[in-house]
Amino acid sequence: MAAWDITTADEAWLIELCQTSADEGRQIGGQEHGGPKVVRISDRIVAKYGDIRRSELAAQELAYHNTDRSIVHIPKVHRFFESDGQSYLFMEYVEGRTLEDVDFETHKDIPIRVANILAHLQQIPGECDPGPVTGGEAHGYIFGDEGAGTAFDSIEDMNAYMNKRLDAMNEYLSRQGDQRRFDHLDLTPYPLVLCHGDICRRNIILEPDGSLCLVDWGFAGFYPRIFELAAISYVVQNDAAFKDPIIHEFTTLLSLTDKEKQDIDRFRAVRSTNLRWSFRDRRTTAEEDKFIQELYETQKRIKEEQEAAGIQSFITSELLDGLLAQKSRPDVEERPTTGEESPTTEGT
């Protein structure tokens, strides 16, 4: 093959090269079907292509330019473009094995090294609204499989998003006779820092020289530091050998406050809520809310008077609940269960 320059090569030619590389068995990561693929297109370059957001590019470049190579290796980005609904991200190829193929008994220092990497990333502050580095809709495990569905314009906006879901979980627990309750989150005291959001074995490469390389920045963004810990619980929930020592080391390193520990539980409850229900924001006016509340109270009083007189009321509890559901609150639609929907924490 003739020499070529990744920064100037024709886009159509690069797209064809990606497909040819995949067809010839040079896929080294990503999804086999339906998701972005990672293929090695030369000795030094890999391409990730498919449904890739620009925020992934921005987060990876931010980390590349603001981290210490002796602590963590971030692959250098060479080029990014979009074509026919697909995105193409070209970056440095990193030699080595993912932690899927590494025995922690042999490499006992990996958990503390990963914890140090996460703490190092959190030295990069976010002088912006919470969410992706580029702004826009937040994605990641806390937000469920479909993303947040909204951009956060402020930390207060993120509070409102989280607390709507905690309210829904509390209502569900109450209906189930479960005494657990989750208090509202208040994230305003927390500075926003860079979080990776997808820490798992496949996204960490152990290089021949012993360096650790961190890849796949699709869920990265600026969040409170505890966001990373909450996310790890779900990224690798079935891999205790990886998850538990890293969470232990990272928790120890951060010296978490009691409030932070409680807020991690609340983040996890938000994740469970997002898996159980689909939320669609619908707003009513203050006047409409007042009318609905007055109608609810009137109907409730009639029901109580009828029952006190021994009369079977036509006003059911479901009818009253339905009235309150018309007020300004998220419309909630239950999803098919997946087994992750119930919170595993004690609540507060």
What is the model's pLDDT at position 2?
54
Q: Would you say the pTM of this structure is higher than 0.75?
A: yes
Q: Cβ–Cβ contacts within 10 Å for residue 347, how many?
A: 18
Collect contacts of 158-162 with beta carbons under 8 A, ≥24 apart.
158/130, 158/131, 158/187, 159/184, 159/185, 159/186, 159/187, 159/188, 162/187, 162/266, 162/267, 162/270
Determine if residue 228 is left, alpha or beta; phi over 0 gives left, psi from -120 to 50 gives alpha, anything else beta: alpha
The rounded Cα 105 to chain-centroid distance in angstroms is: 29
What is the model's pLDDT at position 37?
94
CA triple 192-196-200, angle to 5 deg: 145
Per the prediction, the chain carries an average pLDDT of 88
How many residues appear in the chain? 348
Tens of pLDDT, residue by residue, the chain (348 residues): 557 899 999 999 999 999 999 999 999 988 655 689 999 999 999 999 999 999 999 999 999 999 999 999 999 999 999 999 999 999 999 999 999 999 988 999 999 999 999 999 999 998 889 999 999 999 999 998 889 999 999 999 999 999 999 999 999 899 889 899 999 999 999 999 999 999 999 999 999 999 999 999 999 999 999 999 999 988 877 788 899 999 999 999 999 999 999 999 999 999 999 988 888 654 556 666 777 788 888 888 888 888 888 887 778 777 777 666 665 444 566 665 555 556 655 443
What is the model's pLDDT at position 314?
73
DSSP 271-322: HHHHHHEEEE-----HHHHHHHHHHHHHHHHHHHHHHHTTPPPS--HHHHHH
Q: Which two tokens stand for residue 133?
A: 């580095």
Q: What are the residues whose beta carbons fall under 8 Å from the beta carbon of 178, sequence distance 6 or more?
A: none
Amino acid letter, 85: G
Q: What tens digit of pLDDT does each residue of 194-213 get? A: 999 999 999 999 999 999 99
Q: What tens digit of pLDDT does each residue of 262-298 get? A: 999 999 999 999 988 888 654 556 666 777 788 888 8
Q: Which two tokens stand for residue 315?
A: 């006003």
What is the model's pLDDT at position 307?
86
What is the model's pLDDT at position 69?
97
